Structure 1
Amino acid sequence: MMLGSQAEAQTPPPAPHVAKRPFQVTSPNGARADDYYWLRDDTRKDPAMLAYLAAENGYADARLAPLKPLQAKLYAETVAHIKQDDSSVPYAKNGYYYASRFAAGADYPLIERRKGAATAPATTMFDEPAMAKGHSFFALSDWAVSPDNAQVAWAEDTVGRRQYVLKIKDLATGAVRSDTIANAEPSVVWADDNRTILYVAKDPVTLRGYRVMAHVLGTAPAADALLYEEKDDTFQMGIARTADDRFICITVGSTVSDEQRCAPASNPSAFTVLAPRAREFRYTADHQGGRWIIRTNRAAKNYKLVTVTDADVAKGVTAWRDLTPASDSVFIERFKPFAGFVAIDQREGGNRMIRLLTDAGTSIPVKADEPAYRMALDVNEETATPWVRYTYGSLVTPTTTYEVNVKTGARRVLKVAPVPGYDPANYVTERVWATARDGTRVPVSIVYRKGLKRDGTAPLFQYAYGSYGMSTDPAVDPGRIGMLDRGVVYAIAHIRGGQEMGRGWYDDGHLLKKRNSFTDFIDVTRFLVAQKYVAKDRVAAMGGSAGGLLMGAVANMAPQDYKAIVAQVPFVDVVTTMLDASIPLTTFEYDEWGNPAQKAYYDYMLSYSPYDNVAAKAYPALYVGTGLWDSQVQYYEPTKWVAKLRELKTGANPLVFRVNMEAGHGGKSGRFERFRQNAEWQAFVLDQLGVAGAAS
């Protein structure tokens, strides 16, 4: 029975409301009233704030209680589509083969290695189930083995706030060293001496990675040497070795600018800048075979590859020579240099594909057979090989790991991701093109169970992200199968703000063109309704983080087009957040959203900010999720939004707010926990769409 109906199976208590406290958010362009600003507590200890979150969780429990059986069924169906004792494909590096392996029922994997051959006896490097014990949240992120294969350094998070702790252990004995480094990025690299670790330290207030430090084993972290500090707080930072392991490179980047400085891995003390930063100049460099290969937007909006020899690299960009031409239709996303060729990860026509380019200039595309798909370079640690490993998948085809031989063209399947109880032949995927209100053709990837009648009666679940130039690629999701089997059409709207159609696609969906992302999403919905794929009154939508901003904007702009909306960790208080440089990520994002200290950006952001545009009107049924320890989108953004919605929204459609009190941006950790959380909002959505029965 639908939660929005008058005859509910269980009557919930009244929705929680919270007190308003007058407050003015000041800016160079005026002040705004924010009666719920007090819900921000950076210590996360304020009793009144915590009481409100507890009340919201209690209300969500009560509101969703009638759906517990459906939630349990959806979770069971999802888990039934997961091979519980699964393993990754081993990959070779420096004489060892590495892989991860899940035991049946385990939330976390074992990470193992084998010496000399993929079939040799396994040694466990990380027993993640054991490491996670006693923690309500656990994430093992980046790890790196020393060049002599004797030690491993890794980054772990037991809070969910992405403030990682770096640790080191001896792989022969398993003994963990005492030198522990706190508040770091999950990025760690060994120098060739096997005793020096380079890592990125975070600013303690903004959590921005801003310093590259060198730690020598056996010394106190307080004595770590500073190798580089990034003063510009609009730049992010990373560190990595090159493909041939000869250099260690520090990368700093913003939305519109990059800079890379490298040093020999044998002596990573003095780093040399490859090309100085400049606005609207981006590049990423790697090294192989006595030359640098560089992906750059210099005279190439969609990026091209250039090369420069070691002898000429100091001459700067004037010595760069093209490997690929600039293109208006092909967008180069990534690349990997090998001995004798380069593997290129690129986009064309909305699809992501692989192309191999030999040193002799021969271009070899890797073909696909479906209309909407995703190829991506996989782990390729060994570069002195003719074999390139990549993955392929679609909304119908499970992720398949391949190797292709650049010399012979031979291709072999290494693994098809197992999806028990799933038959791809039962489903159909399409790539359709919706015309946006300004005439732009927007690609849409859709999937549905075979036998769908195009009579305008089916329910729709539509997803998008559409920010930061991040593209959303199709893939089989075990958690989605139950929805498809109930007759739901699933669609990915590849809206502007992503990069599916190239850099121009991104440019037309950020800064003062951000509204295109929102209207594209709405226009895709209306297209699918007009084409009778789905019913006008049976549409649900979902987005998270910046995609949650999309959901908030869509809810304000076109509430009548949606029956239900799921907004996970939504970025909904755009202006207030972007005015506060102390909040993690704010300064990085001026070139994404604009700096509201400038009136043009202030006014434009204010015109769409979901929190600022909540009004007294009927909204769709809303499921909102957040994590108390989120460092990306602070918990108080969705909390304030929900409070204001409770104050102003009209109509009987339900609004539930689920707060994970022990999680951050990605929700609770653990393989199965994610599906358990997802089952809750899936049950909510299916109930609202009127398809809450058993799968056919």
Structure 2
Amino acid sequence: MRRRNHSDSGDVITDVVLDEAELAGSEGYAAIGVREPSPDNTLLAYSVDTTGDEVYRLRFRDLSTLHDLPEELPRTYYTGAWSADSRTFFYTVHDRLFRPYQVWRHTIGTPVAADVLVRQEDDARFELTVAATRDGEWIVIEARSRTTTEHHLVPTSDAAADPILALPRVDGVEARVEHADGRLLITTNATTPEFAVSLVMAPTLQELRRSGPAAPDTAAPLGPASTSGATLEELVLSGDGERVIRCHPLRGFVLVELRRDGFPLLRAVDRHSGTALEIDAGIAAGTVTLLPHFDCADTAVTIRVESLIEPPSWWSVDLATGGRTLLKRTEVIGYDPAGYRTERRHATAPDGTQVPVTLAWHAATPHDGTAPALLWGYGAYESCDDPAFDELLPSLLDRGVVYALTHPRGGGENGRGWWLDGHLAAKANTFTDHIAVADWLAETGIADGARIASRGLSAGGLLQGVIVNRRPDRWAAIVAEVPFVDVVTSMLDPDIPLTVNEWEEWGDPRRPDEFAWLWAYSPYENEPDGPRPALLVTAALHDPRVMVHEPAKWVARLRARAKPSDAPLYLRTELGAGAHTGPAGRYAHFRYEAEIAAFVLTAITHA
């Protein structure tokens, strides 16, 4: 939607620019991939997927008429960027394994067949993204593997220019690139594992522009020392125990996204005085998220605040004073957050590590060892599973269920080190951390140890498969959604999605030592050590991330090995539109969640 002033009356008019219901396919599903307004605000580049397979059709909408231009690009992926004159759009295309490996440019009003290939990435470990810098001066083409990045730049004022290699790939060095005052602003782990922010002082980008495209062996690598005339000036924008995520240069401030003590945090540093202002959620066990749509000249930004029990609210924050103005709050009919409680606690893992867990419960639910509990876990890719409001969760809390969002190693909640201690050879820590939270709930009396269920999706589904095998006695029920459970076979097959580019996350089983650790926990290669708890497994026909055969194959093996003492085992396969996170459509998804809730409640009520 957009808001504009009527030219005659001065009244504010709200227009619906994109209506997902109108864009939906025959099965009522539509997902928006790219949504980028042109610099002159006359066009909107947007892309739509109507099946759930993450193949997006890119269109261009005239914002004066709200009609689409004739050109249509049938196969595109996430991310995009405009040239300064709003006439050229850069976009990505993925290969048959759903890896975005090409960046193309399209000129408005020309045939799609005339589009120009700007860059292609042939190393299957790397994916390409494209985005404009905050000040609109440069288009950044980023090649990123799990541990390494490379950056090329194209001036937005000259969309047809050849890309300039600004930061070549150096194994193990990652960076995010912004631009301010003619210099690159780089967030990188070149000098510290938890990342720092640096300014590239020289050569200037103008010199790079004059020199033209650079060969990989002549460009200056990113590092703490000067090379080929380039030096880094580190900006002190973070402190000990903080993980820098990204940095946004404004004219008056440098805005930094951080993590500290397991929670997201924003810090605004005045570029003139150097004073710093911290912006947190301001509520118990809450999450603060920076909305991306702001300009370099802005002195205020919009944040979203929520928790497991607090519905989302949006606030305008003055970066100089920290003053907040409420813009909007999600109203949930019949729901009062005052009737619920949430807090962050810690459980002790077998090796002594303190594992964060975010709890939510109804105020009337006692912590006397009688309450059932449901855990949710993920723990992979340095992904942060921060507390977020789900309007379906109160239904469980109202029934006396304690909800526990676990933050095991392998995720990024506690920074880069938290991920490093939960992937590759250390992956077992993810599983023992999650189990430790369940044991802690039972030992402290927060939950009834005989009535604990667990749920997770994708890599979190892998987590569920492992804990079924390792501690079947711990769980009354397990929900494994589109689970990555045939680990060894999938990681041995480079001809399916998410194999080659994920060896740096899980391991390469062609190497004997890595094969051994993958085999040791792969759910398909192992089986429960005792009677199996009730198990609901989901799969999706159109899922491009976990192929439908993988959970089906696992369920078939579990059924073949079933013992009379095992609890029920169900496989739910989504055949329609929608994929990785459940079926398409609001009501279809509600029905899906109701099925899962019924399964969980039946198990933990009668355990």
TM over 0.5: yes
2:270 counterpart residue number: 358
Q: Quote the offset at 1:674 in angstroms.
A: 2.0
In 1, distance between residues paired with 2:128 and 2:238? 27
Q: Quote the offset at 1:297 in angstroms.
A: 0.7
Aligned residue for 2:341, secondary structure, equals strand
Aligned residue for 1:320, secondary structure, equals strand
Under a length normalisation based on structure 1, what TM-score does the superposition of the two structures give?
Answer: 0.80
Is 1:428–2:347 an aligned residue pair?
A: no
1:621 counterpart residue number: 534
Letter in 2 for 1:683: A
Is 1:216–2:128 an aligned residue pair?
A: no
Q: 1:338 aligns with which of 245, 250, 261?
A: 250
In 1, distance between residues paired with 2:377 and 2:71? 43
Q: 2:158 aligns with which of 256, 267, 289?
A: 267
- Correspondence 1:295-694 to 2 at 5 A: 295-309=187-201, 312=204, 317=222, 318=226, 319-324=231-236, 327-359=239-271, 360-614=273-527, 617-650=530-563, 651-662=565-576, 663-690=578-605
1:231 counterpart residue number: 122
Runs of 4+ aligned structure 1 residues displaced above 4 Å come to 115-119, 313-316, 325-328, 367-371
After superposition, the Cα gap between the structure-2 partners of 1:405 and 1:116, relative to the gap in structure 1 and judged at 3 Å, is: farther
Cα shift readout 1:104-132 (whole Å, capped 9, x = no counterpart): xxxxxxxx453589962123322221221
Q: Quote the offset at 1:325 in angstroms.
A: 6.1
1:147 counterpart residue number: 39
Cα shift readout 1:560-610 (whole Å, capped 9, x = no counterpart): 000001111111111111111111121110110011111111111011011
Q: Quote the offset at 1:348 in angstroms.
A: 1.0
- Correspondence 1:195-206 to 2 at 5 A: 195-203=87-95, 205-206=96-97
The structure with higher relative contact order (CA 8 Å, sep 6+) is: 1
| Contact in 2 for aligned 1:154/1:188 (Cα 8 Å) | no
Q: Quote the offset at 1:404 in angstroms.
A: 1.7
| Contact in 2 for aligned 1:614/1:644 (Cα 8 Å) | no
| Contact in 2 for aligned 1:396/1:447 (Cα 8 Å) | yes
Cα shift readout 1:439-487 (whole Å, capped 9, x = no counterpart): 1111111011113322111000001110000011112211100100110
Which stretches in structure 1 are left out of the alignment for 5+ residues?
1-98, 100-111
| Contact in 2 for aligned 1:548/1:567 (Cα 8 Å) | yes
Aligned residue for 2:322, secondary structure, equals coil
In 2, distance between residues paired with 1:412 and 1:154? 30
Letter in 1 for 2:86: N
Q: Quote the offset at 1:617 in angstroms.
A: 4.3
| Contact in 2 for aligned 1:615/1:649 (Cα 8 Å) | no
Q: Quote the offset at 1:334 in angstroms.
A: 2.7
| Contact in 1 for aligned 2:84/2:136 (Cα 8 Å) | no
Is 1:123–2:42 an aligned residue pair?
A: no
Q: Quote the offset at 1:309 in angstroms.
A: 4.6
Cα shift readout 1:643-666 (whole Å, capped 9, x = no counterpart): 111111222411111111023213
Q: Quote the offset at 1:277 in angstroms.
A: 0.8
After superposition, the Cα gap between the structure-2 partners of 1:253 and 1:115, relative to the gap in structure 1 and judged at 3 Å, is: farther
| Contact in 2 for aligned 1:627/1:664 (Cα 8 Å) | yes
Is 1:166–2:58 an aligned residue pair?
A: yes
With 567-576 and 181-190 compared, the bigger mean Cα shift is at 181-190
In 2, distance between residues paired with 1:326 and 1:259? 24
Superposition RMSD on alpha carbons, in Å?
A: 2.1
| Contact in 2 for aligned 1:343/1:388 (Cα 8 Å) | no
| Contact in 2 for aligned 1:389/1:401 (Cα 8 Å) | yes
In 2, distance between residues paired with 1:574 and 1:152? 41
Under a length normalisation based on structure 2, what TM-score does the superposition of the two structures give?
Answer: 0.91
Letter in 1 for 2:236: T
| Contact in 1 for aligned 2:25/2:51 (Cα 8 Å) | no
Q: Quote the offset at 1:328 in angstroms.
A: 4.3
Aligned residue for 2:579, secondary structure, equals coil
| Contact in 2 for aligned 1:486/1:691 (Cα 8 Å) | no
In 1, distance between residues paired with 2:255 and 2:379? 27
Percent identity of the aligned residues?
37
Cα shift readout 1:43-95 (whole Å, capped 9, x = no counterpart): xxxxxxxxxxxxxxxxxxxxxxxxxxxxxxxxxxxxxxxxxxxxxxxxxxxxx
| Contact in 2 for aligned 1:302/1:327 (Cα 8 Å) | no
Letter in 2 for 1:303: F
After superposition, the Cα gap between the structure-2 partners of 1:674 and 1:557, relative to the gap in structure 1 and judged at 3 Å, is: same
Aligned residue for 1:280, secondary structure, equals coil
Aligned residue for 1:121, secondary structure, equals strand
In 2, distance between residues paired with 1:679 and 1:302? 40
Q: Quote the offset at 1:668 in angstroms.
A: 2.1
